[in-house]
Amino acid sequence: MKVRGDFAANQRLLLIATISVFIGAICAFVAVLLLAMIRFFTNLFYFHQLSLVPRSPSGSPLGLLMILVPVLGGLIIGLMARYGSERIRGHGIPEALEAILFGKSIMSPKVAILKPLSSAISIGSGGPFGAEGPIIMTGGAVGSIIAQGFHLTAAERKTLLVAGAAAGMSATFASPIAAVLLAVELLLFEWKPRSLVPVALASAVAAALRSHLLGAGPLFPIPAHAAVEWPSLIAAAVVGLAAGAFSWLLSTSLYKLEDLFEHIPVHWMWRPAIGGLFVGIGGYFQPRALGVGYDVIGDLLQGHLVASFVLGLVAVKCIIWMVSLASGTSGGVLAPLLIMGCSLGALESHLLPAGSHSLWPLVSMAAVLGGMMRAPFTAVIFALELTHDIEALPPLLIASICAYAFTVLVMKRSILTEKVARRGYDIFREYGVDPLERVRISEAMSRAVVTIPSVMPASELLERYFASSNKHRGYPVLNQKGKLIGVLTISDLLGDSILGADKTRTASDLVRTETIIAFAEETCREAAERMATRGVGRLPVVSVDEPDKLIGIITRSDLLKPRLLHFEEEHKYERHLELG
């Protein structure tokens, strides 16, 4: 029996961690390539130039022709999805989730090429999206493709897929810790060394390379401000609740629009072009709502925009983002959520306790992100890494948790899991220790064991042990010295045709040659896995020092005991301290 410790990890962790370092480095360059392609297509569509100079669509000289640019981009993406891969549609994270949970973490090389290309065309033609969703999916595809070249389990492929996704986000935003938290909260569905170590290493390597390739963070530096006082902490809770309500409204409206697009009597290939028309019209009246909008986030955090402009910006951004995403185009959700959250905070700052120009846009930005994605810790650390404003930590935490609590109570699913659920897959995102992991076999097994003597004639077995009135369908067999020699089940008897002519055989003659056992110090989870993989319904429990000494038996029904204990802990209400 293996020695138990705090964590389940083995030497393969070193192999996976080594591969993840290389994946992190590769995905840093992939992120740089994606950002360069966005700049290239922005210059091509809006300025008719072959250039990599960073430009915003708002400076385009096209005039009314700007309306047609997103339509052209949507048409190209529709054709790419129709004749290339439909997997490029959407904002990336749900597709990565689906590959992890239901596709054994296998993604195709085609997706790794077409997803960043389609996203660059979408954003470069004015799509109101960010680069993070596409880079998460593209990085995940790179990690998956590399993993497929090795002899790995599905769990190990998942780790490398997520390592690529985290590395892509880390390189894009200079946010290595937030990328790891995003991986845990939205992709890994576990907190184990076997996955945490490789993912963290990949994210750190990508962030280190980013400083040389794109420059060091923070991405949105803001002026320092004094420590936050109590009135502002109370106001942060209000900001969080408002962000939660805003998240609910956005998510609900987005999927109602998606349902509406499903009823449009045209092939889905043409829908991104229809969405692009709305983007073009909205962008004509509010050009700064187009594209990634990182410059807009910076201005909002610096307090450079007046309230009337911010109100128009957030209204147009919300509409064109929802319509475009619902139409099935390609692009990420983080940057638009950052802009909308910042805008909401900038408007709220006129009603909240005084502070720096950046405080309430920053707090609201994190709260909207935490509420929409149901990832509050990712949102808090992400905001800190984007700005390096450590003094904002208390209100960031309060607002993000309040927004998270609001959406958990009023929304069944997040913006990410709703899309997966609409494809027929349900995701449960509460993490906890398996009750079977917490209980040892010695606590759940039956110690009063009915056994079969090895010398019992086969002719007596059916009547004495396997009659319809007996509740057990299998029994340990002991020799004359009381030592375990195997387990005998009803299927063994019938398969051996004991009703045949040979009446001289005994129980020892019918026992299987291999006895599958369990040890008292093992967990019920290990017993359940052994039963499932070996196709048995019971395990004799033996002593570690004497593997042939029977001390109990554990059956499938015994494995329900930890579940019952967990149910009582969750649902049985008790009072132990009597008052008065």
Q: In the chain, what are the domain boundaries? A: 12-213, 231-269+288-421, 435-565
The string of pLDDT tens digits covering residues 32-65 is 998 999 999 999 999 999 999 988 888 889 989 9
How much of the chain exceeds pLDDT 70, in percent? 89
**pLDDT per position as a tens digit, 536-564:** 888 999 988 888 889 999 988 888 888 88
Q: How far apart, in whole angstroms, are the C-alpha atoms of residue 8 and residue 62?
A: 60
- Of 4-8, 405-409, 484-488, highest mean pLDDT: 405-409
Mean pLDDT of 214-221: 82
CATH class of domain segment(s) 231-269+288-421: mainly alpha
pLDDT tens-place string over residues 289-339: 998 888 899 889 888 888 889 999 999 999 999 998 888 887 778 888 999
Report how far apart, in Å, the C-alpha atoms of 179 and of each of 185, 383, 400 are: 10, 12, 17
Element spanning 540, H or E: strand 538-542
The pLDDT value recorded for residue 379 is: 93
Same fold for the pair 231-269+288-421 and 435-565:
no
Residue 28 has pLDDT above 70, yes or no: yes
How confident is the model at residue 468, as a pLDDT? 66
Contact indicator for 162, 183 with CB cutoff of 8 Å: yes
The tens digit of pLDDT for each residue in 58-92 reads 888 998 999 999 999 999 999 988 888 777 776 66
Mean pLDDT score, 267-274: 90
Judge if the upstream peptide bond of residue 265 is cis by omega within 30 degrees of 0: no
Architecture of domain 12-213: Orthogonal Bundle (1.10)
Instruction: DSSP for 210-278, please give it.
Output: HHHHT--S-SS-----PPPPHHHHHHHHHHHHHHHHHHHHHHHHHHHHHHHHHTSSS-GGGHHHHHHHH
Helix (H, G, I), strand (E, B) or coil at 562: helix
Nearest Cα residue to 35 out of 116, 94, 96: 116
At 274-296, the pLDDT tens digits run: 999 999 999 999 999 998 888 89
Owner of token pair 């995102």: 429
Q: Residue 555 forms beta bridges with which residues?
A: 538
- In angstroms, the CA 269 to CA 276 distance is 12
Residue 414 reports pLDDT greater than 80: no
**What would the pLDDT profile of 468-483 be if each residue is shown by its tens digit?**
666 777 888 888 888 8
Per-residue pLDDT of 346-397, as tens digits, reads 999 888 887 677 889 999 999 999 998 888 999 999 999 999 888 889 999 9
pTM for the model stands at: 0.81
Residue 523 phi/psi, 5-degree rounding, is -85, 160
Rg of the chain (C-alpha set): 30
Q: pLDDT tens digits, residue range 92-120?
A: 666 666 666 666 677 778 877 888 888 88
pLDDT score recorded for residue 97: 65
Nearest CA among 180, 197, 92 for reference residue 136 = 92
Can you give the pLDDT at residue 501? Answer: 47
Q: How far apart are the first and last CA of the chain?
A: 52
Average pLDDT (503-515) is 74
CA geometry: angle 312, 78, 110, nearest 5 deg: 115
- Percentage of residues in the chain with pLDDT exceeding 90? 34
Higher pLDDT, residue 455 or 43: 43
| 575 against 162, higher pLDDT | 162
Q: Write down the pLDDT at residue 293.
A: 85
Average pLDDT score over the chain: 85
- CA atoms of 34 and 119, how far apart (whole Å): 8
Residue 342's pLDDT is 93
| Domain boundaries 435-565, corresponding CATH code | 3.10.580.10
